[in-house]
């Protein structure tokens, strides 16, 4: 029986040591020792051993009195052993339960650690920019500002005489019947309705788009003619003037491009001739970008009405864009009085674009009207 107690105590100490050190958990699960059946089995084994000892030690008649007292002591000892075995079984059950609980907690912690946490991005981290995408966007914006993304120029194989062959979308440049610019002459002198200019100081940006210097203005600038309202989108420059008046060309021209709610275009052309400096044009030159397709947005505002002549008489006819795709259906309003620009201001633009004007196109019987 003492050997049985030794085995039970050894099992208790081993289980306690295993529970204290989770890293040494056995690869095979421990047999359940917490149940009452297990406790009973241990007690039964102790009882069986006791019974076997009784059978093996049959006392003689002479020793019966001593045997009874010894048997009583042994029975008490066996009862104590049974009680100890039951306590050991209960202790093993508690240890095993604690071990299972700690194992489940560790698994839960590992599972929690495995859950993906939201990534944190420092507010001071530098933005990632793809150079190709940025350059492509700039090129696209530059092309759209002039009506196309296909390369074209004012001379050589990509010049005006070949625009219609560069792309099927440019066919109007060759076959259109209402193309611009034209030589304005023999207009019908009539009492034209005045153009109402409603320009105000606005933010603006300046871009060199590879064909001209273009200025885009903020919203809220309008013209009105016969009750029809157009909003100013941008203005740009040509040298020399694309329009001619009775065969005469001017130093430069500025085209103010407007659109209505349906996308119809109206262009106001202001002719520029050599004279004194023009303050608004100087403001544009002061903010010329250092690189093409890289717009500059000044911190000041601009009042585009400063570009207009004092007298508001004008010529008008229906024409087209003067750059590919040469879209027709454009209302042209050409101011009769030129605005002066200084030789120094002319020289600045000439260094960038010595010539960026489309040749005049056929009038093709169009009606041209002018103010009386």
Residue ranges, the chain, pLDDT below 50: 19-59, 110-148
Q: How far apart are CA 73 and CA 308, in angstroms?
A: 129
pLDDT score for 90: 75
- Taking a C-beta distance cutoff of 8 angstroms, is the pair 340, 276 a contact? yes
pLDDT score for 13: 57
pLDDT score for 83: 75
Distant-in-sequence, close-in-space partners of 199: CB < 8 Å, separation ≥ 6: 221, 222, 232, 303, 304, 305
Q: Where in the chain do CATH 3.10.200.10 domains reside? A: 150-371
- Tens digit of pLDDT for each residue in 174-184? 999 999 999 99
pLDDT score for 74: 75
pLDDT score for 345: 98
pLDDT score for 43: 41
Q: What is the CATH number that goes with domain 150-371?
A: 3.10.200.10
pLDDT score for 269: 98
pLDDT score for 76: 76
């Amino acid at each position: 029986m003492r050997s049985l107690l030794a085995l039970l105590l050894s099992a208790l100490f081993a289980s306690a040591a295993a529970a204290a050190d989770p890293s040494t958990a056995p690869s095979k699960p421990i047999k359940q020792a917490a149940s009452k059946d297990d406790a009973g089995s241990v007690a039964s084994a102790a009882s069986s051993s006791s019974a076997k000892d009784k059978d093996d030690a049959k006392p003689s008649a002479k020793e019966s009195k001593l045997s009874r007292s010894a048997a009583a002591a042994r029975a008490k000892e066996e009862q104590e052993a049974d009680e100890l075995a039951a306590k050991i079984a209960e202790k093993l059950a508690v240890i095993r339960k604690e071990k299972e609980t700690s194992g489940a907690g560790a698994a839960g912690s590992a599972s929690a650690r495995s859950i993906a946490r939201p990534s944190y991005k420092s507010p001071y981290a530098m933005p990632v920019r793809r150079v190709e995408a940025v350059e492509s966007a700039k090129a696209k914006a530059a092309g759209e500002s002039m009506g196309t993304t296909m390369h074209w120029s004012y001379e050589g194989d990509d010049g005006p005489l070949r625009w219609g062959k560069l792309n099927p979308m440019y066919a109007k440049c060759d076959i259109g019947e209402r193309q611009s610019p034209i030589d304005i002459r023999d207009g019908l002198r009539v009492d034209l309705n005045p153009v109402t200019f409603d320009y105000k100081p606005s933010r603006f940006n300046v871009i060199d788009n590879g064909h001209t210097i273009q200025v885009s203005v903020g919203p809220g600038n309008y013209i009105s003619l016969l009750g029809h309202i157009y909003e100013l989108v941008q203005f740009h420059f040509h040298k020399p003037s694309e329009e001619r008046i009775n065969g005469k060309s001017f130093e430069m021209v500025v085209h103010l491009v407007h659109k209505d709610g349906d996308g119809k275009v109206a262009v106001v052309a202001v002719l520029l001739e050599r004279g004194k400096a023009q303050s608004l044009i100087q403001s544009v030159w002061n903010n010329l970008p250092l690189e093409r397709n890289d717009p500059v947005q000044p911190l000041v505002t601009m009042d585009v009405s400063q570009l207009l002549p004092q007298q508001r008489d004008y010529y008008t006819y229906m024409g087209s864009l003067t750059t590919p795709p040469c879209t027709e259906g454009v209302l042209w309003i050409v101011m009769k009085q030129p605005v002066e620009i200084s030789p120094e201001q002319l020289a600045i633009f000439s260094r960038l674009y010595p010539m960026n004007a489309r040749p005049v196109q056929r009038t093709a019987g169009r009606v041209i009207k002018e103010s009386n």
